[in-house]
Amino acid sequence: MSEYSCDVLVAGAGIAGAGAAYYLSNQKLNVIQVESDHPASGPTGSSSAVCHAFYGDRELSLLAKRGIEILKDLPGAFHQSGCLWVCGPEHEPINREIVKRIRDDEGSRIEGLTGEQAHAILPHFNMEGITFAAWEDESGHCDPYGATNELVNRARANGIKFMGGRSVTEIQVTNGNTTGATLSDGSVISTGRVILATGVWSKALVAKLGVDLPTFIERHFMAVMDAPGVARKLLPHCWVDETTNCYARPEGENTILVGTWGGGGTGVENDELKEAHARMNYRLEVAGQLDRTITQEESVWAIEHIMSRSPEIAELGIRPGYACQYDMSPDHLPIVDEIPGAKGTFVITGSSGHGFKLGPAMGEVVAKWALGQRQELLRKFSLHRFE
């Protein structure tokens, strides 16, 4: 049995764990990061990685803003394609207020557009029923695998110890204080501070500490359109449509990614579309037990959500899509907190499909918290809100 010690242990090398490790690597501390496989091998690597600051919750917008700043500093990983978020008259009033808050109070670059102005940005899109759009010309999308690995590689270059092929199986606690962790290979790490950025695997791990995280796992999927040489011509920007709960973005020059979501995260819900979405994106009982292949029927179902907007995209061929797993919370907001009864152990989970853009900043602010700097920005994401 091997024994190690460190100032801070980071469990997980998805985007949040990578963000935490990178921040800590600049603090002249002894840091160990463990990962069961390789960086971005879990849900992070399957993310659409659409990046925007448009959120109904101030805290999410600010975390997204900081997350995008970090991602933009990674050469080749971030693509400033812009993001156009459209809605109909039902959601126009609240979306106008969101844009105003983000622009005037938070300082992010965002514009509110009419349907006609949105059409000028994507002139070949059918904007019927669109009355308002949020346009972020400095946002865009990312290579999730490349961005995560770049953060981990930078952290390693700064001196952290990265241990791949191993996972945390148990947190040791003495008199309410974290004292260490046991790994899957039997190794023991002595430390008073642990950051669990373990996503869908967090619930089972935290349960061993007597705490029931109210999270669950959902299977989601992404359709892939075959657009050889014309992907960026047909869809040069990220597209998010509240009237159909559809999002899409170009992936290089030859493919377009198309997905759907249940409507959470922005402060408004589309109940009719949410029900259909729940039927197609179902719950999983065991973390990691996921068949990433999807059926032709599932691909077609996702693509149908964008077909009425773009006849050109509707005529494209379909490539094999893929499924991924989301760690969901009941209110679609992250759960970020110090574990009750285990002082020094912090968890980042329940990102509910929003985690990639938030992850670098979430890891950073939790790392600061672990070092004794209480983060007011995270108060909204406390476990106590479910009591």
CATH code of 346's domain: 3.50.50.60
- Considering the domain boundaries, does residue 274 fall inside one? yes
**Same domain membership, residue 239 and residue 208:** no
**Same domain membership, residue 249 and residue 262:** yes
**Same domain membership, residue 306 and residue 275:** yes
- Considering the domain boundaries, does residue 62 fall inside one? no
**Same domain membership, residue 313 and residue 238:** yes
What angle separates helix 15-25 from helix 144-157, to the nearest 10 degrees?
20
**Same domain membership, residue 271 and residue 233:** yes
Q: Return the structure tokens found at 193.
A: 């501070």
Domain range holding 316? 80-140+216-328
- Considering the domain boundaries, does residue 72 fall inside one? no
**Same domain membership, residue 306 and residue 161:** no
- Considering the domain boundaries, does residue 306 fall inside one? yes
- Considering the domain boundaries, does residue 61 fall inside one? no
**Same domain membership, residue 259 and residue 149:** no
Residue 339 corresponds to which amino acid? I
DSSP β-bridge partners for residue 85: 134, 240
CATH code of 88's domain: 3.30.9.10
List the one residue out of 59, 48, 125, 47 whose CA is nearest residue 86. 125
Please report which helix (H) or strand (E) contains residue 271, including its range. helix 271-280
Q: Give the end of a domain, one of 278, 294, 328.
A: 328
List the one residue out of 334, 342, 367, 254 whose CA is nearest residue 62. 334
- Considering the domain boundaries, does residue 73 fall inside one? no
**Same domain membership, residue 242 and residue 163:** no
- For the question of whether the overall pTM of this predicted structure is more than 0.75, the answer is yes
- Considering the domain boundaries, does residue 63 fall inside one? no
**Residue entry with tokens 């039902």:** 90
**Same domain membership, residue 323 and residue 261:** yes
**Same domain membership, residue 188 and residue 119:** no
Tally of domains in the chain: 2
DSSP β-bridge partners for residue 259: 247
List the pLDDT tens digit at each of the 387 positions of the chain: 689 999 999 999 999 999 999 999 999 999 999 999 999 999 999 999 999 999 999 999 999 999 999 999 998 899 999 999 999 999 999 999 999 999 999 999 999 999 999 999 999 999 999 999 999 999 999 999 999 999 999 999 999 999 999 999 999 999 999 999 999 999 999 999 999 999 999 999 999 999 999 999 999 999 999 999 999 999 999 999 999 889 999 999 999 999 998 765 565 666 776 777 777 888 888 887 888 899 999 999 999 999 999 989 989 999 999 999 999 999 999 999 999 999 999 999 999 988 999 999 999 999 999 999 988 999 999 999 998
**Same domain membership, residue 200 and residue 223:** no
**Same domain membership, residue 319 and residue 251:** yes
- Considering the domain boundaries, does residue 175 fall inside one? yes
